[in-house]
Amino acid sequence: MRRYLLVLVTSLVVAGTVSYAQQPAAGRGAGRGTAAAQEAAPPAPPAGSAGTYKSGADLMNILKKNMSPTGEMTTSAVSNTDQYRVNIVHRSKPAGAIAHAGNTELHYIIEGSGTVVTGGTIVRPTGGSGALATIEGGVTKHVTKGDVIIVPENSAHWYKDIEGQITYLEVRWLAPKK
């Protein structure tokens, strides 16, 4: 798994290309997200294949094709299986804090900047006032183009502030069983 992530991040940073190989089909289910994102995902390559390749331009075209009319938040599937998810995420405003059970996540900032909070405890609003879930006691960092964030399994994360907009490659995979 470490080799896979190193190849992925190195490809993005050095060549502007994402490459990934098929992983085993059994697992605890990395696939979470909207039905539209699930339907838009191309099929994963068959086991033993050479892999699938997407250029940086391909990724941006996938995002543009799926951009929401409001432009507030769009998640565009690149490849999703029961073992991993690869998406392009675009945000123009914060969404609530979240944690993914059993999944580790990597975010590679493609464009924009903002403030991300990781770790700590998710605090859910009371009374249904439309307020977003937040994080108490987490680590706050300013992120910008080229930055990488690793979010361990079950860890709270939240883009607290967004400066105009932010677009990132999101890679989520099953955390190894301990």
Q: Where are the domains of the chain?
A: 2-174
Look at residue 31 and tell me whether its pLDDT is greater than 70. no
CA atoms 158, 163, 165, 166: torsion sign: negative
Write out pLDDT tens, residues 81-102: 888 899 999 999 998 999 999 9
Q: What are phi and psi of 2, to 5 degrees?
A: -60, -40
Is-contact 82 27, C-beta < 8 A?
yes
- 3-class DSSP state of 8: helix
Annotation: CATH topology of 2-174: Jelly Rolls (2.60.120)
pLDDT band at 46 (very low <50, low <70, confident <90, very high): low
Please give the sequence-ordered ranges of beta strands (E in DSSP) within 8-156, or none if there are none: 17-20, 52-55, 73-80, 84-91, 103-118, 121-123, 134-136, 139-144, 148-151
